[in-house]
């Protein structure tokens, strides 16, 4: 896959289709690739890397890249293409400034899961014939990709690219029975007090680093209200737990109907807070109240929370209030 | 050298906790270690290190500085400081223990930060040598020995228990107070444990890493390097690196409107944030390149310049493991310093 991607990058840079390439560059270890922009074939040759640990969704970088002028090639996994479309729908990126190469995805690996298996002192990871060989200072270990697959990939909603100029690999299908709402259903079945306890337990670990917000392709406000010193709510750290909750609740509301469920927020959280559950609750509710809707699927679709119809559900009608 | 047998570990914790608060690394619900207050039944985590660093004990993420109460035309200023109670932090690693010296160099010099000093004076730090350092560890780059951490008491894990050595008066006092649980210990067992740790350390990928290419006197040479642009290109400006870092020491002071008064608090700040050091004229660092450069120049050049060459990093590896885009101080120092 990496070689095919590099070859397309060379060719498209060479024939002038694009001026830059957005991909990943080599890390210090086998699993810590950094998103990077490559400006010529030499840079691609020396630095470009792609493997199962290149997990970042590159769509959001395009907001910045579109302001830099020229045309940029971006490699997108199926889930990333939903974010791309959503950014298009919100006029945050310009379609004609971007050349999208869709890449077939078999699920990403999560190095945390490898470490959780008790594998320590990792010096290298190679993939061959559907097996990862993890070299460590204590010897080699063979592991199955399925055992260390990223959480979000275990509930992948679509292997289909909703937008691309060309594809590398095969096109997949939307995954109908992806079970992504299972945990949401469990939370819904709890009493309000139990649910409150669940979320307090999770959110109390938050260090307000803002990684979830800053990585989120739906969070592209020029200045977030939480960064605006004149907003009155811009506290960098929570004075109390109420504020901590508010940051997450406000953010979840703000991305409701626009969150594509890309899973980046949960992936980057240094405290392993399952933020995707908040968003999936909104997605599930939108589906229930307004009919099935997948943000990013169709950039021309009218967003359910951005239009009004006479028979729209009324506040309180769905229940859920504490008795 | 003292020895605590494995069977007496809980009694030892209980004896300390009977007199003062005891904190130690405990696995949270997602299986990651956090410093947690010990109560009967608490089990110590086996994790190499905590997600948040031990700096929280002396420089908490947020703390109240003073309160203002408004009544009619009167404003009452309330000193909300409280004398800190004695406490013990158990299981601090060598890197975090070394970070306290860096925080001290900022908070205990004139004008002394009384809030910080209060907690420093009341805290006893019990460090624990690392049995199995990870590939992200590079404390050795800064002359920190994972097998021989600083602190008031140093603890080594051996086959049938723990070896303890007091390094300071506070440490002596702690061991004296628990003397009936301890027996005489043998240096040899410690030496064997140390040799094992050092052997692992030497095999790890970052062994032998030096920061020679950065450091004292390099401001002019490094400040305008074109590599800052590429290094910072994908930085999210999130602040994760700052908040998990044991040596990051910047804070902001803010007012919280309580309705009938003000709570003036301080909280960690990050140079990666757009409103860092915001002044009346606006922001002194307008782009992420400048903000990113500040974080690394501070640790790699400005701090060493003012502290006899000591770097503002202790090699704990937290930023290596936690940055969402996997950018970190090792990549920066290698790129700028031109080594390896
Ligand atoms: S809220 Fe999370 S899952 Fe939704 S778009 Fe943002 S980063 Fe992706
Ligand atoms: S990434 Fe995690 S710790 Fe950071 S602000 Fe978001 S929820 Fe909190
Ligand atoms: S270096 Fe990484 S952790 Fe630090 S602000 Fe940038 S993206 Fe966040
Ligand atoms: S800069 Fe990174 S490795 Fe150095 S002390 Fe801070 S978190 Fe640890």
Choose, out of A125, A198, A270, the residue to mutate when testing the contact with B (most B CBs < 10 Å).
A270
What does the pLDDT profile of chain B (340 residues) look like in tens digits? 999 999 999 999 999 999 999 999 999 999 999 999 999 999 999 999 999 999 999 999 989 999 999 888 899 999 988 889 999 999 999 999 999 999 999 999 999 999 999 999 999 999 999 999 999 999 999 999 999 999 999 999 999 999 999 999 999 999 999 999 999 999 999 999 999 999 999 999 999 999 999 999 999 999 999 999 999 999 999 999 999 999 999 999 988 888 888 989 899 999 999 888 888 888 889 899 999 999 999 999 999 999 999 999 999 999 999 999 999 999 999 999 875 4
The strand pairing partners of B155, in sequence order, are B128, B164
Map residue A106 onto helix, strand or coil.
coil
Do B163 and B23 belong to one domain?
yes
Residue B234, in any domain of the structure: yes
Give the C-alpha separation, B64 to B79, whole Å.
Answer: 10
Do B10 and B131 belong to one domain?
yes
Query: What is the radius of gyration, based on Cα positions, of chain B?
Result: 22
Do B233 and B324 belong to one domain?
yes
* pLDDT tens digits, one per residue of B288-325: 999 999 999 999 999 999 999 999 999 999 999 999 99
The strand pairing partners of A99, in sequence order, are A73
Residue B328, in any domain of the structure: yes
DSSP H or E segment with residue A134: strand A131-136
Do B184 and B278 belong to one domain?
no
Q: Which of A209, A215, A250 to mutate to test the pocket of ligand 2 (most atoms within 8 A of CB)?
A: A209
* pLDDT tens digits, one per residue of A138-156: 999 999 999 999 999 999 9
DSSP per-residue letters across B139-159: GGGGT--TTS--SSEEEEEET
Do B142 and B31 belong to one domain?
yes
Do B46 and B190 belong to one domain?
yes
Q: How many helices (H) and strands (E) does chain B have?
A: 12, 12
Non-local CB neighbours of A173 within 8 Å, separated by 6+ positions: A158, A159, A160
pTM: 0.93
Phi-psi category of residue B161: left, alpha or beta, with phi > 0 → left and psi -120 to 50 → alpha: left
Give the C-alpha separation, B71 to B67, whole Å.
Answer: 13
Residue B63, in any domain of the structure: no
Residue B212, in any domain of the structure: no
Give the C-alpha separation, B28 to B268, whole Å.
Answer: 23
Give the C-alpha separation, A205 to A212, whole Å.
Answer: 14
Residue B210, in any domain of the structure: no
Ligand lying nearest the CA atom of residue B303: 4
Of residues B203, B269, B327, nearest to A236 (C-beta): B269
Residue A307 clears pLDDT 90, i.e. is over it: no
Instruction: Please judge whether A270 and B322 are an interchain contact, meaning their C-beta atoms are less than 8 angstroms apart.
Output: yes
Do B238 and B90 belong to one domain?
no
Residue that is written with structure tokens 């306890």 in the block: A197
Q: Which of B203, B227, B246 is the last residue of a domain?
A: B203
Confidence of residue A239 (pLDDT cuts 50, 70, 90): low
How would you list the strands of the sheet with B87-92, edge to edge? B33-37, B21-27, B87-92, B123-128, B153-158, B161-166, B2-5, B183-184
Domain extent, residue B247, equals 219-337
Q: Interface pTM (ipTM) of the complex? A: 0.93
Do B195 and B235 belong to one domain?
no
Do B188 and B227 belong to one domain?
no
Non-local CB neighbours of A115 within 8 Å, separated by 6+ positions: A122
Give the C-alpha separation, B96 to A33, whole Å.
Answer: 27
Residue B10, in any domain of the structure: yes
Q: Which of B168, B203, B238 is the last residue of a domain?
A: B203
- Burial letters B180-216, b for 16+ CB under 10 A, else e: ebbeebeeebbeebbeebbebbeebbbbebebebbbb
Residue B176, in any domain of the structure: yes
Retrieve residue B101's tokens: 């010296």
Query: What is the radius of gyration, based on Cα positions, of chain A?
Result: 21
Do B192 and B237 belong to one domain?
no
Give the C-alpha separation, A239 to A114, whole Å.
Answer: 36
> What's the structural domain count of chain B?
2
Residues of chain A numbered 269-308 and touching chain B (CB < 8 Å):
270-272
Q: Which of B158, B175, B203 is the last residue of a domain?
A: B203
- For residue A290, the distance in angstroms to the closest alpha carbon of chain B comes to 34
Give the C-alpha separation, B165 to B168, whole Å.
Answer: 9
Map residue A254 onto helix, strand or coil.
helix
Cis before B276 (ω within 30): no
Do B227 and B307 belong to one domain?
yes
Residue B209, in any domain of the structure: no
Ligand lying nearest the CA atom of residue B276: 3
- Please tell me if the CB atom of residue B317 comes closer than 6 angstroms to any atom of ligand 4: yes
- Please tell me if the CB atom of residue B222 comes closer than 6 angstroms to any atom of ligand 4: no
pLDDT, position A314: 87
Give the C-alpha separation, B326 to A27, whole Å.
Answer: 8
Do B198 and B243 belong to one domain?
no
Retrieve residue B102's tokens: 């860096």
Non-local CB neighbours of A7 within 8 Å, separated by 6+ positions: none
Retrieve residue B174's tokens: 């702690």
């Amino acid at each position: 896959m990496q070689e095919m991607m590099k070859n397309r990058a060379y060719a498209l840079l060479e024939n002038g289709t694009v001026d830059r390439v957005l991909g990943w560059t080599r890390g210090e270890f086998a699993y810590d690739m950094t998103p990077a922009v490559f400006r010529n074939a030499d840079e691609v040759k020396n630095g470009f890397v792609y493997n199962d640990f290149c997990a970042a969704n590159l769509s959001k970088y395009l907001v910045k890249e579109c302001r830099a002028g020229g045309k940029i090639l971006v490699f997108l996994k199926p889930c990333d293409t939903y974010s791309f479309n959503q950014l298009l729908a919100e006029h945050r990126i310009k379609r004609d400034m971007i050349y999208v190469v869709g890449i077939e995805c078999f699920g990403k690996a999560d190095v945390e899961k490898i470490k959780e298996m008790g594998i320590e002192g990792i010096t290298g990871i190679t993939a061959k014939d559907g097996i990862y060989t993890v070299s460590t200072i204590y010897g080699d270990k063979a592991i199955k990709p399925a055992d260390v697959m990223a959480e979000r990939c275990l509930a992948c909603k679509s292997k289909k690219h909703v937008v691309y100029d060309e594809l590398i690999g095969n096109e997949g299908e939307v995954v109908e029975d992806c079970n992504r709402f299972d945990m949401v259903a469990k939370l819904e079945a709890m009493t309000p007090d139990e649910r409150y306890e669940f979320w307090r337990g999770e959110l109390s670990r938050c260090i307000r680093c803002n990684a979830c917000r800053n990585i989120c392709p739906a969070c592209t406000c020029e200045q977030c209200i939480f960064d605006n010193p004149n907003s009155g709510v811009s506290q960098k750290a929570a004075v109390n737990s109420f504020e901590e909750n508010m940051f997450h609740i406000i953010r979840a509301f703000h991305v409701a109907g626009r969150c594509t469920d890309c899973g980046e927020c949960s992936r980057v959280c240094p405290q392993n807070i399952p933020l995707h559950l908040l968003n999936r609750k909104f997605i599930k509710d939108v589906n229930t109240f307004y009919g099935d809707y997948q943000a990013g699927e169709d950039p021309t679709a009218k967003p359910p929370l951005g239009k009004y119809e006479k028979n729209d559900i009324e506040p309180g009608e769905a229940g859920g209030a504490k008795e | 050298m003292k020895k605590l047998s494995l069977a007496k570990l809980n009694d030892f914790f209980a004896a300390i906790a009977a007199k003062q608060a005891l904190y130690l690394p405990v696995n949270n619900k997602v299986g990651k270690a956090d410093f947690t207050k010990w109560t009967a039944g608490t089990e110590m985590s086996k994790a190499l290190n905590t997600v948040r660093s031990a700096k929280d004990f002396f420089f908490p993420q947020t703390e109240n500085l003073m309160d203002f109460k408004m009544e009619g035309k009167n404003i009452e200023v309330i000193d909300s400081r409280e004398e800190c109670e004695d406490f013990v932090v158990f299981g601090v690693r060598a890197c975090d223990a070394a970070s306290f010296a860096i925080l001290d160099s900022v908070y205990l010099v004139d004008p002394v930060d009384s809030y910080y000093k209060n907690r420093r004076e009341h805290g006893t730090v019990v460090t624990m040598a690392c049995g199995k350092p990870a590939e992200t560890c590079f404390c050795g780059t800064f002359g920190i020995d994972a097998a021989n951490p600083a602190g008031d008491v140093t603890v080594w894990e051996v086959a049938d228990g723990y070896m303890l050595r007091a390094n300071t008066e506070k440490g002596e006092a702690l061991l004296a107070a628990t003397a009936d649980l301890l027996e005489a210990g043998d240096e040899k067992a410690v030496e064997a444990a140390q040799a094992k740790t050092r052997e692992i350390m030497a095999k790890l990928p970052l062994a032998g890493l030096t920061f020679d290419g950065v450091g004292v006197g390099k401001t002019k040479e490094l400040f305008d390097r074109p590599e800052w642009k590429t290094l910072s290109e994908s930085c999210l400006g999130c602040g994760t690196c700052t908040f998990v870092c044991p040596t990051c020491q910047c804070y902001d002071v803010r007012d919280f409107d309580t309705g009938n008064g003000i709570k003036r608090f301080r909280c960690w700040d990050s140079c990666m944030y757009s409103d860092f050091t915001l002044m009346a004229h606006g922001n002194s660092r307008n782009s992420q390149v400048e903000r990113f450069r500040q974080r690394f120049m501070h640790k790699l050049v400005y701090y060493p310049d003012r502290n006899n060459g000591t770097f503002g990093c202790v090699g704990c590896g937290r930023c290596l493991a936690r940055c969402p885009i996997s950018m970190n101080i090792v990549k920066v120092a290698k790129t700028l310093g031109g080594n390896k």
